[in-house]
């Protein structure tokens, strides 16, 4: 297929009548492939924005590669190396059916966040990428966003005539608005809200131009799928997240029985887009309501950490935790408080639920889809956040019930099920491309 034919097919792609129809179609494909005696293994080349770092995209990407390895699926992962300028320029490794091409970010890369960078000279890796992709021979190329890696992944797909899939993991348009405070604060107050809205809508439009290049889209929640289908006229399938319920478990709880404090937990990046300033307000309001037997456990790092340390005397800051240390930190919490308005899914919320910790989240973004109101936690606006936490803190029977239900809900989430449905979405695109080529 030529690039022009590929673009023409994309421009005429139709959106299914509803997300339910799209999901039903995906499930039918998955069921047919599962029932087949020896279904062919799709060859997938995956270009993640992030892999080694500590964030939702990296977390999902590592599990995706592990899924391919477990299932013996041919999988090429093209990603940035962890070591930056100290790492080799390129390194190609293979473990079983999984091949990894790690590429070094150079001196011209600049920070996007505490552990994320963007290399404006990434195009120097085009020869290495083209050779690895041609040698691998993918049926489909999957990118996770408009990073330097994602942009070259999309270019490679069109250059080689390979169908492109793209998944939405981060609300970059909302980040653009929240991080434009330095500009908005220079405007008259009466114009700030409108200016912020213009920044957000402009960033969203730019992001959707990138996602229109793909033949099929994936997103972690229904609201994002609906938005992407409306903006791009592409079919969007759910690509939710799973959780390791053996690692994240109430059995990891090792609190001293003499510790009577109610521990309010947060795990994630301490930065403006996570709305962490609300935690300070929660502390103030709970104290005003006469509650004193609580403290915060805030796991992670970020630009607002020093400010939070100053304003949260009731908090402990264990830093970045991984593996069993992180699982113990979750299990030692009593309520997970996650004030973010910008998360597209909320891996940390699901990990908390798996640890038997009910959650209080905002009504914006993906976390609200993980919380069953009144059963596994509460969904509350900023103004009602403290009241929702107080309901759990002051009601032991409700808290005990929520802990049990949170764990039961998490037990139904499986990474294998998530990625099996992603492969079903791939099949729909690959078979459509095959029919076009045959015609």
- CB of 296 within 8 A of CB of 265? yes
193 and 286 together in one domain: no
344 and 419 together in one domain: no
216 and 297 together in one domain: no
Q: Give CA–CA dist 228/225, Å, rounded.
A: 5
Q: Give CA–CA dist 384/218, Å, rounded.
A: 32
Q: Give CA–CA dist 210/164, Å, rounded.
A: 11
Residues 6+ apart with CB under 8 A from 417: 242
If one counts the domains in the chain, the total is 2
391 and 419 together in one domain: no
pTM of this structure: 0.70
Minimal CA–CA distance to 343: which of 371, 366, 372?
366
Whole domain around residue 221: which residue ranges? 3-242+415-438
What are the distances in angstroms from CA 222 to CA 21, 238, 342? 13, 7, 15
Name the strands in the sheet holding 44-47, side by side, starting at the edge strand that comes first in the sequence.
Answer: 90-95, 98-103, 75-80, 44-47, 140-143, 164-167, 216-219, 236-238
SS3 361: strand
- CB of 131 within 8 A of CB of 125? no
97 and 218 together in one domain: yes
- CB of 251 within 8 A of CB of 331? yes
268 and 395 together in one domain: yes
282 and 371 together in one domain: yes
SS3 223: helix
Question: What local confidence, expressed as pLDDT, does residue 27 receive?
Answer: 52
296 and 317 together in one domain: yes
Minimal CA–CA distance to 155: which of 41, 350, 146, 432?
146
Q: Give CA–CA dist 229/219, Å, rounded.
A: 10
286 and 426 together in one domain: no
What burial class does residue 97 get, using C-beta atoms within 10 Å of its C-beta: 0-12 exposed, 13-18 middle, 19+ buried? middle
291 and 228 together in one domain: no
**Domain containing 223 — which CATH number?**
3.40.50.2000
DSSP characters over 184-217:
HTTS-HHHHHHHHHHHHHHHHHHHHHHHTTSSEE
Residues 6+ apart with CB under 8 A from 203: 172, 173, 176, 177
142 and 23 together in one domain: yes
Question: What local confidence, expressed as pLDDT, does residue 223 receive?
Answer: 85
Question: What local confidence, expressed as pLDDT, does residue 7 receive?
Answer: 31
Question: What local confidence, expressed as pLDDT, does residue 347 receive?
Answer: 87
Question: What local confidence, expressed as pLDDT, does residue 18 receive?
Answer: 42
pLDDT (tens, 9 = 90+) of the chain, 439 residues, equals 333 333 333 333 333 444 444 445 455 545 554 444 445 789 999 999 999 988 888 989 999 999 999 999 999 999 999 876 677 889 999 999 999 999 998 888 777 666 677 788 899 999 999 999 999 999 999 999 888 999 999 999 999 999 999 998 775 545 545 555 555 566 677 666 666 666 666 667 788 899 999 999 999 888 889 999 999 999 999 888 889 999 999 999 999 989 999 999 999 999 888 999 999 999 999 999 999 999 999 999 999 999 999 999 989 999 999 999 999 999 999 999 999 988 878 889 999 999 999 999 999 878 998 999 999 999 999 999 999 999 999 999 999 999 999 999 999 888 888 899 999 999 989 887 777 666 5
Minimal CA–CA distance to 169: which of 243, 221, 244, 93?
221
47 and 154 together in one domain: yes
């Amino acid at each position: 297929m030529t690039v022009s034919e590929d673009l023409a097919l994309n421009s005429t792609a139709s959106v299914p009548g509803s997300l339910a129809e799209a999901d039903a179609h995906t499930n039918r494909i998955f069921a047919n492939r599962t029932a087949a005696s020896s279904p062919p293994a799709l060859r997938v080349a995956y270009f993640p924005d992030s892999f080694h770092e500590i964030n939702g995209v990296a977390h999902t990407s590592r599990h995706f590669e592990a899924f391919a390895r477990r299932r013996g699926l041919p999988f090429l992962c093209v990603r940035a190396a962890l070591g930056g300028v100290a790492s080799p320029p390129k390194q190609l490794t293979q473990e079983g059916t999984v091949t990894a091409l790690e590429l070094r970010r150079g001196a011209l890369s600049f920070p996007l966040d505490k552990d994320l960078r963007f290399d404006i000279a990434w195009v120097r890796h085009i020869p290495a990428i083209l050779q690895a992709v041609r040698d691998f021979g993918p049926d489909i190329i999957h990118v996770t966003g408009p990073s330097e890696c994602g942009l070259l992944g999309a270019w490679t797909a069109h250059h080689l005539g390979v169908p492109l899939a793209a998944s939405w993991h981060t609300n970059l348009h909302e980040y653009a608005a929240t991080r434009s405070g330095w500009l908005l604060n220079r405007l008259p107050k009466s114009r700030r809200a409108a200016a912020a809205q213009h920044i957000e809508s402009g960033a969203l439009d730019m992001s959707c131009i990138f996602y229109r290049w793909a033949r099929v889209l994936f997103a972690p929640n229904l609201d994002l799928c609906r938005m992407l289908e409306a903006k791009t006229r592409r079919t969007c399938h759910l690509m939710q997240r799973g959780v390791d319920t053996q690692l994240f478990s109430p059995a990891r709880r090792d609190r001293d029985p003499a510790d009577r404090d109610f521990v309010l937990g947060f795990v994630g990046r301490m930065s403006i887009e996570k709305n962490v300033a609300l935690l300070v307000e929660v502390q103030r309001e709970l104290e005003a309501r006469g509650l004193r037997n609580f403290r915060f456990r805030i796991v992670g790092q970020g630009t607002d950490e020093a400010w939070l340390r100053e304003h949260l005397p009731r908090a402990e800051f264990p830093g970045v935790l991984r593996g069993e240390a992180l699982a113990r930190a979750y299990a030692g919490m009593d309520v997970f408080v996650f004030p973010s308005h910008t998360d597209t899914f909320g891996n940390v919320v699901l990990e908390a639920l798996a640890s038997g910790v009910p959650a209080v989240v905002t009504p914006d973004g993906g976390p609200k889809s993980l919380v069953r109101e009144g059963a596994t936690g509460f969904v509350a606006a900023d103004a009602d956040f403290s009241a929702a936490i107080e309901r759990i803190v002051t009601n032991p029977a409700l808290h005990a019930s929520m802990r049990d239900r949170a764990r039961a809900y998490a037990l139904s989430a499986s990474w294998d099920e998530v990625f099996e449905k992603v492969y079903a979405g791939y099949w729909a695109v690959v078979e459509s491309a095959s029919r076009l080529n045959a015609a």
